[in-house]
Amino acid sequence: MEEVIKVPKREGGIMSLNPWQEAVTNLEAVAKQIGLDKNLLETIEKPDRVLEFKLMIKRDDGSYSIFDGFRSQHNNACGPYKGGIRFHPRVTKEEVMALSLWMTLKCAVVGVPYGGGKGGVIVDPHKLSLTELEKLSRAYVRAVAPIIGPDKDVPAPDVNTNAQIMAWMVDEYSHLKGELSLATFTGKPIEMGGSQGRTEATGRGGVDVLNSLAKYYNLSPQETTVAIQGFGNVGSWFADFAAQEGYKVVAVSDSRGTIYNSQGLDIEEVIKVKKEKGSVTAATGEKLERDGVLSLNVDVLVPAALEGAINEADAEAVKAKYIIEMANGPTTVEAEEILLKRGVKVIPDVLANAGGVTVSYFEWVQNRQGYYWSKDEVFAKLEKIMAQAFDEMMAKVKGERLTHRQAAYANALTKIAAAVQQRLS
C-alpha cells in the first residue's frame, strides 16, 4: 500500500469558507478575460431575489420548533429559475446564493432553457421523525408558493432531500393552487410524474464526462484508476456507472472513512454494505482515514461531497492527474491555483455534475407534454448533451488557452449575456 499523505481534518468534512465569494471570484475573473461589460456582469452576478423566512412546525411531542429557510432566484434570462432544496444544519444564505449562481452557469453550459435557483433549510433532518419531516417540507412550500411554478421557478431535490420530499411538496403546492401541478417540481417519484433515470442522472452524467475526458486525453478505462470522495447518491451512482464502463474504482469514502483496494473495489458490494451497515468502511478493502482519499495516487479524483472539500493544504497532497468535480464548488480558488501549477486538470462542477439538472429538464418537458421516455432514451439524450458541452469546453481550452473552468464559465457567460442583452434591446 502506498503512503497516504494526511490532510487537515475539518469539522463536518468541509472547510469554513464563504461560498458566495468563491463563486463571484471565479465569475469576475472569467468576465474580465472575455471582456464582458461591467454593468452587464453586475446584472448577471447579483441574484434577482433572495427570500429568507421562518418555518414553524409542531413536533410529535407537542412542542414547536422554528427553522430558517431560504430561496435564491439568481437569474432567469434563459428560462425559469431551477435548483434544488437542501436540508442541512450548515446551510447559509451565502451558500444558497452561490449554488443558485452556479446553477445559472450550469444550465447555460449544457444549454437547457433554465436560469439558476437554490433553496435550503437550516436543519438536521435525521433528528426529525417522518411526520415532522413532512410538516417541514410542506411548510417550505407554503413559504415559497407565490414565487415558484412551472414557468417561474422549478425546485428539485438536493442534499438530504429526495423523491418522497418532492412528492409532499408537489402535493402541498397543488392543494394551494387548486390544481395538479406536476411540472413545478422535478426529482419526483415515477408514480407522480418523475422521469426514468432522474435518481441516477448526476452520477450518469458525470461518467459521460469521464468518458469524454478519457477519449480526449487517450485514457484506457481499464488502466484508469478512480477515487471518489463522498458516497451519497451522486458518488455511489458515479462509482457504479464508472465500474460498469470498465474504470478501476480503487477508493471511495464517506463521513466515517475511506475504503481502498489497489486492484479495484467491488462496487456492488460497497453499495450493498453502505445500505445495510451505514458506511463504506464495512466493505472489503483497506481502511484509511476519511480524507485519505484525497491524496491517493490515482488518475482521477472525484470530489462528490460538499463544497470546499479541497482547500490549499489538500491541494498540496493531491496526486491525481485529473479532478472531476461532482460536488458543487468542491475546490477553493486557492486550491485550484496550486493544482493548476502542478499540472492537474480540473473539470468544473458546472459541467461535470450537470447531468442532474439536464434530466430534471427532461422531467419538466415530459410533465408538460404528458408523454414519457424510457430510461435508455433518457440516458441517450443525456449522453449527447454532456458530450457536446464537453466538446464546447475543450474547443475553448484549446483555442484560447483557458483552464477548463474558465472555458466552461466563458461559454456560459456568453450565452447568458446574449439573453440579457436581447431582452433589453
Active site residues: 118
The three three-digit cell numbers of residue 353, written as one number: 455534475
Q: Which residues contact 179 (CB under 8 A, 6 or more apart)?
A: none
What stretch of H or E contains 202?
Answer: helix 201-216
Which amino acid type is present at position 22? E
| The length of the chain, given as a count of residues | 425
* Dist CA 117 CA 219 (whole Å): 36
- CA distances to 260, 280, 311, 377, 419 from 207, rounded to whole Å, are 20, 21, 24, 17, 30
- CA distances to 137, 139, 160 from 171, rounded to whole Å, are 10, 12, 19
CB atoms within 10 A of CB 11: 8
> Can you give the C-alpha Rg of the chain in angstroms?
21
* Dist CA 225 CA 133 (whole Å): 39
Backbone dihedral angles phi then psi of residue 85, each to the nearest 5 degrees = -125, 125
* Alpha-carbon 370 to chain mean position: 27
- CB contact at 8 A, 85 and 67: no
Backbone dihedral angles phi then psi of residue 81, each to the nearest 5 degrees = -60, 145
Tell me which residue has cell 437569474: 75
* Dist CA 372 CA 361 (whole Å): 13
- CB contact at 8 A, 163 and 189: yes
What stretch of H or E contains 103?
Answer: helix 93-110
* Dist CA 51 CA 45 (whole Å): 17
- CB contact at 8 A, 109 and 389: yes
How big is the CA angle at 91 (ends 295 and 252), to the nearest 5 degrees?
A: 25
